[in-house]
Amino acid sequence: MNLSDIRTVREVMNRYGISAQKKYGQNFLTDETILDTIVEGAGISSDDTVLEIGPGLGTLTAKLAGAARKVVAVEIDEALIPVLKHTLDGFDNVEIISADILRCDVRELYERYGTGDGIKVAANLPYYITTPIVLKLLEYSDIIRNITVMVQKEVAQRMQAGPGSKDYGALSLAIQYYSDPVVIADVPSDRFYPSPAVDSAVISLESRENPPVEVPDVEYMFRLIRATFNMRRKTLPNALSAGISELSRAQVEKALDAMDLPHTVRGETFSLEDFARLTELLYIKS
């Protein structure tokens, strides 16, 4: 069954009496080349265990199953489970999990279905929860080797953005701390059924072997980063003293003095290295 063919997609949906659910971000991929780009971009081989988020009708799942040892596919929409059982009938290496990925224990899935050498994540992500999903996956960077996902083009730009750019923010820093983001394909909206309102991109997030900066407490650094970008137009002393109750403006100003920076500086110009230095200075003092 060729699920990247739009007529087949319509046929399958008609047969099961389903329609694309907007509330679940259902835009089914109908481009064979892009499917191959995701599988190749993830570097999937026959030893690999792959976690797919949102298999939908099973289009990408079938491609992944053809290349991997095992595919664990987590789908929230219960109406799609019988469809997936039908479309993936020919594969004995696919495990369909009926669940919300945000409530799944990925480590537990890995221990149950993996072989001990990490997992790869591949997905055409639901756009309404891309950021929470990706941030959740980053927490498992010790077991996830790489993440290759379709996201809104604008989100891909935010993931890759550097200091000073309007797209730069907490997401850019989280992604770049844990991985090396590279856009591997731009995907116009007409490659999906139904077409989303925005263009998309496939981004590859290769997990880093070692973090790019050393800090005394990573969670504390991300608290500083989140507080900074929650009030991105404010100066750093104002944003941090407002966002973190135990920090005073004077403490932040003293840290900026140690970094030879003016008190008027804004966090949006801060690189990851700057946030790491700030963490060192403030963490010791807090």
Residue nearest to ligand SAM (CB): 54
71 binds ligand SAM (CB under 6 A): no
Determine the Cα–Cα distance for residues 61 and 50; give it in Å rounded to an integer: 10
* CB contact at 8 A, 265 and 235: yes
Cα–Cα distances in Å, from 254 out to 31, 207, 249, 283, 285? 55, 35, 9, 13, 10
Amino acid at 20: A
Q: Which of 5, 36, 40, 100 binds ligand SAM (CB under 6 A)?
A: 100
Q: How many CB atoms lie within 10 A of CB 122?
A: 30
Q: How many CB atoms lie within 10 A of CB 151?
A: 25
Report 24-63 residues binding ligand SAM (CB under 6 A): 24-29, 53-56, 59-60
Tokens of 95: 């495990």
280 binds ligand SAM (CB under 6 A): no
267 binds ligand SAM (CB under 6 A): no
User: With CB under 6 A as the contact rule, which of the stretches 73-81, 107-115, 208-216, 264-272 interacts with ligand SAM?
Assistant: 73-81
126 binds ligand SAM (CB under 6 A): yes
124 binds ligand SAM (CB under 6 A): yes
Q: Angle at Cα 256 formed by Cα 255 and Cα 259, nearest 5°?
A: 95
Query: Helix, strand or coil for residue 50?
Result: strand
Alpha-helix residue ranges (DSSP H) falling in the chain:
6-15, 32-41, 59-67, 81-87, 106-113, 130-138, 153-160, 170-178, 218-230, 236-243, 249-258, 272-285
Is the Cβ of residue 68 or residue 239 nearer to ligand SAM in the bound state?
68
Task: Number of residues interacting with ligand SAM: please give it, by CB under 6 A.
Answer: 22
Q: What is the smallest separation between the CB atom of 127 and ligand SAM, expressed in angstroms?
A: 7
* Residues in contact with ligand SAM, shown as a per-residue x/- string from 181 to 220 under the rule CB under 6 A: ----------------------------------------
Q: What is the smallest separation between the CB atom of 15 and ligand SAM, expressed in angstroms?
A: 17
Q: What is the smallest separation between the CB atom of 39 and ligand SAM, expressed in angstroms?
A: 12
Q: What is the smallest separation between the CB atom of 59 and ligand SAM, expressed in angstroms?
A: 4
Q: Which of 34, 42, 50, 76 binds ligand SAM (CB under 6 A)?
A: 76
Determine the Cα–Cα distance for residues 90 and 35; give it in Å rounded to an integer: 19
Strand order in the sheet with 49-53: 94-98, 70-75, 49-53, 119-124, 144-152, 200-207, 179-187
Is the Cβ of residue 63 or residue 223 nearer to ligand SAM in the bound state?
63
Residues binding ligand SAM (CB under 6 A) = 24-29, 53-56, 59-60, 74-77, 100-102, 124, 126, 129
